C-alpha cells in the first residue's frame, strides 16, 4: 500500500538513524518498527493484583447497624434516598 505520512522531527531522526545503522531502506525499517509496535500492544500486560486494606472505622453511632443497608440509608438520609 502506498501512502503519505507526516513524521514528527524526533521520530524522523530515529528512523534515519536506524536506516544508517542497518543499511536498510526506509520502507523496510518503518514496516519492521510498526510490526514490533503492534505486536507489543497485542500482548496483555499483567496488572498487579487488586488488594484492599481493611481499616477499623470505629464504633457506629447508637441505633445504626450495617446488617441492613436500606435501613441504614433511611436512618442517615431519610426516606427520600430511594
Residue range 9-24, pLDDT digits in tens: 999 999 999 999 999 9
- What pLDDT does residue 82 have? 59
Q: Which three cell numbers stand for residue 61?
A: 453511632
Query: Which candidate, 10, 7, 30, places its Cα nearest to that of 19?
Result: 30
In angstroms, the CA 74 to CA 61 distance is 14
The overall pTM is greater than 0.95: no
φ and ψ at residue 41, rounded to 5 degrees? -70, -30
- What pLDDT does residue 66 have? 77
Q: Which three cell numbers stand for residue 75?
A: 436512618
Q: What is the largest CA-CA distance in the chain?
A: 79
Q: Average pLDDT for residues 36-44, to the nearest whole number?
A: 77
Amino acid at each position: 500500500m502506498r501512502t503519505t505520512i507526516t513524521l514528527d522531527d524526533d521520530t524522523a531522526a530515529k528512523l534515519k538513524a536506524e536506516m544508517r545503522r542497518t543499511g536498510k531502506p526506509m520502507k523496510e525499517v518503518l514496516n519492521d518498527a510498526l510490526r514490533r509496535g503492534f505486536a507489543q500492544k497485542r500482548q496483555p500486560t499483567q496488572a498487579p493484583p487488586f488488594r484492599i486494606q481493611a481499616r477499623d472505622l470505629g464504633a457506629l453511632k447508637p441505633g445504626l447497624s450495617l446488617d441492613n443497608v436500606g435501613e441504614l440509608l433511611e436512618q442517615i438520609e431519610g426516606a427520600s434516598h430511594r
